[in-house]
Amino acid sequence: PRTCHACPDSTGNPTLVDGQERNGDISDCVCLEGYEGTSGGVTSAKSVSSSDESVCSAGNWYCMSTVVSTNASTVSVSLPACTACVAGTSKSERGAGTCSSCGPGAVAANPGAETCTSCPQNTQPGEGEERNGCVCQAGYVPGSEQCEACPAGQFKGGLGNGTCEDCAPNTYSDDSGRASCTACPDHSSGEGGSSDVDNCVCNSGYGLDGEES
């Protein structure tokens, strides 16, 4: 008998003829977007009905035409073996292709992604446990709507959603969004949290030209 069966999970039939699903076989079930694999990966026993449906209804179906004896109830078919793209990868087309890693500045936070998402302004893919999400760049911290720059006199040294810190004594940062502070010129020193090189004053025994007085 000729029977209709739903394609296995994670697969679908992309072939359309005149707007209707093709009256095909199990080989027409292919991995969906966000899933990778090849056909013929898993053998499974499928129930055989006695009905004769010449055209499968709209949706992800395949038709199986097999001559079976009147007392047979199942038949073995080879099913597509499809697995979800892991986080950090994506696959945008149906078929037996493979998942691809996200490009620079983009992430796929969850398995089974069809596309990667570009990180917003002032963010980039994280590291370690945060590698599949976007985090604030060095010099920036979470704000109400987006990552905001640390003010002059402060810095944030690495990726992540940390906080701004004051520049250490004898250093300064004269602009916002700094990942580090700049050391005071030779023979000068200044207080912590300095936002201008002019706050670095000459040490005792030295004048503005750097020579001993």
Query: What does R_g of the chain's alpha carbons equal in angstroms?
Result: 31
Q: Look at residue 183 and tell me whether its pLDDT is greater than 90.
A: yes
Counted residue by residue, the chain has a size of 213
Average pLDDT over residues 167-184: 96
- Report the alpha-carbon angle 186-149-151, nearest 5: 50
**10-24, 42-56, 65-79, 137-151 — which one is most confidently predicted on average?**
137-151
Which position has the higher pLDDT, 155 or 4? 155
* Phi, psi for 164 (deg, rounded to 5): -75, 145
Side chain identity at residue 52, one-letter code: D
Name residue 106's beta-bridge partners: 118
Taking the CA atoms of residue 38, residue 43, residue 46 and residue 50 in that order, the dihedral angle to the nearest 10 degrees is 90
Residues 153-175 pLDDT 10s: 999 998 888 899 999 999 999 99
* Closest-CA residue to 120 (of 142, 100, 93, 152): 142
- If you average pLDDT over every residue of the chain, what do you get? 76
Contact of 3 with 49, CB cutoff 8 Å: yes
pLDDT band (50, 70, 90) for residue 54: very low
Contact of 192 with 180, CB cutoff 8 Å: no
Side chain identity at residue 30, one-letter code: V
Contact of 46 with 74, CB cutoff 8 Å: yes
Q: What kind and span of H or E run contains 182?
A: strand 182-183
* End-to-end alpha carbon distance in the chain: 106
Q: Look at residue 84 and tell me whether its pLDDT is greater than 90.
A: no
Contact of 159 with 136, CB cutoff 8 Å: yes
pTM, full prediction? 0.61
59's tokens: 């949706």
